[in-house]
Structure 1
C-alpha cells in the first residue's frame, strides 16, 4: 500500500467517525528537518565541539596540500 493510499484510507475512516482528517503526507517535512538540525547542533554543543564550521574545516583539510618534510 502506498503512502497516498494509506492517507486516503485514514481520511475516509476519520470522515466515517466524524473526526478531522490527518495531515497530508509531507506536510510537516520541512519542520522535521529544521528541528532535527537544531537537535544535532544542541548535541554538538553539549558534547563540547564547535556547533558550526565543521564541514568547512573538513573540506579545508582535504583541499589544502600538506607540507612535506624534506628529511
Structure 2
C-alpha cells in the first residue's frame, strides 16, 4: 500500500470533522460535499474506518466513533 499524500490526509481529516459535526451522513452526501466521486470517498472512509475513527451502522451511512483523536 502506498502512503497517502498530504492532500489526501488533509481531506480525510476534513471528512472526519465534517461527519463529527453532522452526526450521521451518507457516502453520497460526503462525496458531494467534498466534490469527489463516491468511490474516492469510499477509499477515504476506509482509511478512517481502518483506524477506528468512523463506523457504518447502516450500509452507506457513517458516524464517528467514541475514539479520541488528536487532530494536529
Identify the TM-score tier after normalising by the shorter chain.
0.3 to 0.5
Task: Point out the structure with the larger helix share.
Answer: 1
Higher RCO (CA 8 Å, separation ≥ 6 residues):
2
- TM-score w.r.t. length of structure 2: 0.32
Task: Point out the structure with the larger strand share.
Answer: 2
* Structure number, greater radius of gyration: 1
